[in-house]
Structure 1
């Protein structure tokens, strides 16, 4: 089982709803990716990112997921809250790798863990495009022990 990491990265609460459950009353496997997406997106929105280029603090508004790997360790039973911990393990010129864990609210149990690779693309050519300096500066905060 995956160990809990040091105080690097961020943790965001995510609510499990009835429609996230499968017929056995466990969170359906497809929902874990959604929980991770919601947590990471919430972080970036709090930092001023928006899908709308006119509203975004960053020029980096066209991002695509290249890879998403999840390893399931223990089922989540019923509707409750879970925490999603994430950090950036690699920040390249055009891509970023997030590591994540879906944990119990108390943080004592890791239900799933994995990584997600995201690429910035040119909106017209759909080819890789370098991240802006502004986004890179904010992203570095997910690579080290946060002061906040």
Structure 2
């Protein structure tokens, strides 16, 4: 599954991701989008390895997270997590995301997530590196 912008990460819904109704538990959406975004950055050298981050930009936190649910994801199986950078500010990054059926025909949920890059010494916002800005252009919606 491909999209015109961003990246679609394949994901698997497991039995322990389901709630008592047999649908993907609402809290698992945040976990799945987190994994998708982290795996994308990890493949490009931004990760936690050994005792800390491989690059300064890895030290960031989520400031906001919202999701709107459209069609429940019922049962286990494969889905797609489509995400992109909507805006990369000085110290913040706004991601948008969609949860898609495996064939891409159904949008199960969509949302927004904002990360803020922090200085590990001060725990205050700090600018993203030029290197991260260049890499982020690969998934920025034009």
TM-score, structure 2 length as denominator?
Answer: 0.93
Question: Where does residue 26 of structure 1 map in the other structure?
Answer: 23
Q: Contact (CA 8 Å) 1:51, 1:62: kept in 2 or not?
A: no
Flag as ranges the 4+ runs of structure 1 deviating above 3 A.
Answer: 52-55
Instruction: Give how far 1:59 is off.
Output: 2.5
Instruction: Give how far 1:50 is off.
Output: 1.2
CA deviation vs aligned residue, 1:109-136 (integer Å, no higher than 9, x gap) = 0000011000000112110000000011
Q: Which runs of no fewer than 5 residues in structure 1 stay unpaired?
A: none
Residues 48 and 104 of structure 1: CA distance in aligned 2, closer, same or farther (over 3 Å): same
Q: For 1:39 and 1:68, how far apart are their aligned partners in 2?
A: 15
Q: Which runs of no fewer than 5 residues in structure 2 stay unpaired?
A: none
The reply on whether 1:88 has 2:51 as its aligned counterpart is no
Question: Where does residue 74 of structure 2 map in the other structure?
Answer: 77
Q: How does 1:1-148 map to 2 (within 5 A)?
A: 7-52=4-49, 56=54, 58-144=55-141
Count of residues paired in the alignment: 140
